[in-house]
Structure 1
């Protein structure tokens, strides 16, 4: 049996003998199992709830009676985004951004009903998910288990004895590191089993799940190597523990917390009130469809009359009020899309700036990779907003065109008691509007989004291994 395998077995045997180590390992494994089960149950319940709400909203929309099409425009409609299969592993930004949106004419609303907004404030401190356990708790447990793998040998003077018996410094370091890797694999096993089950669901991708597993292997592998490096460089367990805990606090808590604040200061997003005021100002500058003397819509009226070869609105073969609604929605939606595009660009810039802190914190690289794999990242949220807005525009314009084609201008402007009945159209028209279905990104796009995080984590592992090689040589010189 090779020397490094003997060292690994002895190290594992020593961990088993320590009650605190055994209790810590068992607790974290149980926590990973509980996180996988609880998160999967929560996401399944959330998916079923959203499906019920979407069905109820669609039923209520289709069940509207005969009425004027513009009243349906203002009645509005709720749409929901169902969680992806891997969202149970890492919910990402979804609890903060919301999963539903109310669609109505003349407005572009934001997403609503995020879990954080509907739950206790404690939800803001992190949910019990497999991603949270592996990203935050697993490195801390590895630190408590492994901070003395080499420092303890030096502190007791047994490292020199091992070398005098023929074990090389490389064999000792490799054996200790292999023991830590086995423990980290034990931590990852329950989460990976749950991830494999999620990846087998319809719509999931095994390739994305495998890449996600690789990311966590690189992450915890880097932590194991870093623990071995610090333990090799410091001769006292206490000093190694303090340095490692400080490093964990900085890389896992401080930097991931400070980086978004810096990004927000660098690319400040206007608040909702500022955006509404700016949109209202720009809408007034574009034109007012309710003002017959408005320059823009006066020109539009002349164009319509010229197109149909008539001199009066009353002589048009279509309802001019419907055409006016179509044109008004077109220019307002273009303005809404422009503001949404600016906001999306700012948010992408913020996210990219946060990603630049990954060389200081592997947690940032892993979080962005993990959210991209689960389709719970910023890009997926913005994709939902974009698709919901496109559906809103099609729905509203369908109704506006219905007003132009199915309601006569004479009836639409009549004031007699029976005019309201003549303005109504058959309710079957609401049921002809296509239902909203969110289309998530393809698995190839998911892999592409994960690639920067994988490369950064690989870089962290390589840098840690190089540092371990240097610290191993130092052990050989100072024996």
Structure 2
């Protein structure tokens, strides 16, 4: 057995003889198991509610009686966002964004009813999920149990004895690193089991689960390297502990909260009310598509009359009110989409700037990788909103087309005439079918954050390797 393995074995034994280290590991494992089970149960219940509510919304829309198609335009419809199975591992921004979308004519609503608005304020500081345990608590455990890995040997004089016996400093460091990494690996096991279970029992892509597993393994390996490196540099174990706690507090707690606030100040988003006011002002300027005589649609009316070769809207072979509603919906949807695209562009700039700080805090890179692989990032939320808007537009325009084809303009302008059409028309509309991002796109997006994490791992590993020679000379 090589010297490095013998040192790792003895360090492993010492860790398990330390009651505090053993208790900390057991507590981490228990909390990770509880986090995995509670997160899965919460998601299972949320998904069951989503399926039930979506089925009820679909049924109530289909069950509407015979009526005028434009009444159905204003009746509206509800969409509920499907959950990614891996969201049980890392809920990402899903707890802050809404998951329910109300569709109606002439409006583009935002999603509502996020978990943060319905739960305790403690949700804002992190839910008890496997991702939270590994991002926050696992590194802290490695700091407490490993800060004295090298410094303790230097203080007691055993490091000098080991080197005098012919053991190379690199072997000492490697042995300590293997023991600490294996100790951290035990804390990773519940998360790996949860990911394996999710991949086997749900439709979660195993490739994305593997990315999550690899990302968090690299994260714990990075912290094992940093702990050993600081322990090599510190003269005393308590000095190493103080430095490592400071590094943990800054990189894991402070920067991940300060950077988004700083970015939000640098790239400010318009408030919801500001956007609503601006949209309403421009929407009114478009004209009233409910009024066939609105002067702002004069040119549109003339072009339509010229197209069909008639001089009056009453002579058109189609219902002018329905055609006008369709044109108004097209114009208003372009307006809504323009504001939505501008907002998403600003959010994308914010996200890119936050990701750039991953070179300063690897926690940010890990979170980007984790949310991307779990399907709980801004890209997936935007996909839901855009697909919901596409469905809304097709639904409203489909109802307008029913008005054009099934109701005459004369009947539509006759006072007191109900002009009902069969409810079979809206029963024929397909149900909403949300499509998550393609696997290749998700893997490519996660790869960028993974590259930052690997760069950190390589850089700290190279520093540890270079410091090994310095350790031997300093002791002598």
- The TM-score with structure 1 as length reference comes to 0.97
Q: CA deviation at 1:164?
A: 1.7
2:315 aligned residue:
315
2:385 aligned residue:
385
- Does the CA-based 8 Å contact 2:91-2:371 persist in structure 1? yes
1:55 aligned residue:
55
1:239 aligned residue:
239
1:195 aligned residue:
195
- Does the CA-based 8 Å contact 1:33-1:190 persist in structure 2? yes
**Matches for 1:273-422 after TM superposition, within 5 Å:** 273-290=273-290, 294-416=294-416, 419-420=417-418
Q: CA deviation at 1:89?
A: 0.8
Deviations 1:209-237 (A, max 9, x none): 11221111111111100000000000111
Q: CA deviation at 1:25?
A: 0.7
2:78 aligned residue:
78
Q: CA deviation at 1:294?
A: 4.4
1:450 aligned residue:
446
2:464 aligned residue:
468
Cα distance in structure 1, aligned partners of 2:234 and 2:88: 40
- Does the CA-based 8 Å contact 2:290-2:321 persist in structure 1? no
- Does the CA-based 8 Å contact 2:79-2:102 persist in structure 1? yes
Cα distance in structure 2, aligned partners of 1:131 and 1:346: 27
2:18 aligned residue:
18
- Does the CA-based 8 Å contact 2:170-2:468 persist in structure 1? yes
- Does the CA-based 8 Å contact 1:11-1:176 persist in structure 2? yes
2:154 aligned residue:
154
Q: CA deviation at 1:250?
A: 0.5
Partner SS for 1:103: strand
Cα distance in structure 1, aligned partners of 2:18 and 2:222: 25
Partner SS for 1:102: strand
Asked whether 1:426 is paired with 2:425, we answer no
Q: CA deviation at 1:312?
A: 1.0
- Does the CA-based 8 Å contact 1:292-1:298 persist in structure 2? no
Cα distance in structure 2, aligned partners of 1:129 and 1:149: 30
Cα distance in structure 2, aligned partners of 1:97 and 1:237: 44
Cα distance in structure 1, aligned partners of 2:92 and 2:21: 31
Cα distance in structure 1, aligned partners of 2:284 and 2:77: 26
Q: CA deviation at 1:281?
A: 1.8
1:437 aligned residue:
433
Partner SS for 1:386: helix
Q: CA deviation at 1:285?
A: 3.0
Deviations 1:27-46 (A, max 9, x none): 00111111111111111111
Partner SS for 1:268: coil
Deviations 1:302-355 (A, max 9, x none): 111111211111111211111110000000000101111101100000000000
Deviations 1:392-450 (A, max 9, x none): 0000000011111111212211114xx12xx1111111111111011001111110010
Q: What do you get for the CA RMSD once the two structures are aligned?
A: 1.2
Cα distance in structure 2, aligned partners of 1:53 and 1:126: 27
Cα distance in structure 1, aligned partners of 2:202 and 2:188: 24
Cα distance in structure 1, aligned partners of 2:206 and 2:285: 52
Cα distance in structure 2, aligned partners of 1:94 and 1:290: 38
Deviations 1:124-148 (A, max 9, x none): 1111111111111100010001000
Cα distance in structure 1, aligned partners of 2:100 and 2:242: 45
Q: Once superposed, which parts of structure 1, at least 4 consecutive aligned residues long, lie more than 6 Å away?
A: none
Cα distance in structure 1, aligned partners of 2:302 and 2:198: 59
Gaps of 5+ in 1: none
2:455 aligned residue:
459
- Does the CA-based 8 Å contact 2:292-2:321 persist in structure 1? no
Cα distance in structure 2, aligned partners of 1:292 and 1:53: 38
Asked whether 1:270 is paired with 2:266, we answer no
Deviations 1:261-294 (A, max 9, x none): 1211121111111101111222233333345564
Cα distance in structure 1, aligned partners of 2:205 and 2:53: 27
Kindly tell me the number of residue pairs found equivalent between the two proteins: 475
Gaps of 5+ in 2: none
- Does the CA-based 8 Å contact 1:50-1:81 persist in structure 2? yes
Change in 2 beyond 3 A, CA 1:291/1:402? closer
Cα distance in structure 2, aligned partners of 1:118 and 1:292: 44
- Does the CA-based 8 Å contact 2:290-2:324 persist in structure 1? no
Partner SS for 1:97: coil
Partner SS for 1:278: helix
Asked whether 1:177 is paired with 2:177, we answer yes
Asked whether 1:2 is paired with 2:2, we answer yes
Partner SS for 1:66: coil
Cα distance in structure 1, aligned partners of 2:267 and 2:294: 37
- The TM-score with structure 2 as length reference comes to 0.98
Partner SS for 2:105: coil
Asked whether 1:167 is paired with 2:163, we answer no
2:97 aligned residue:
97
1:39 aligned residue:
39
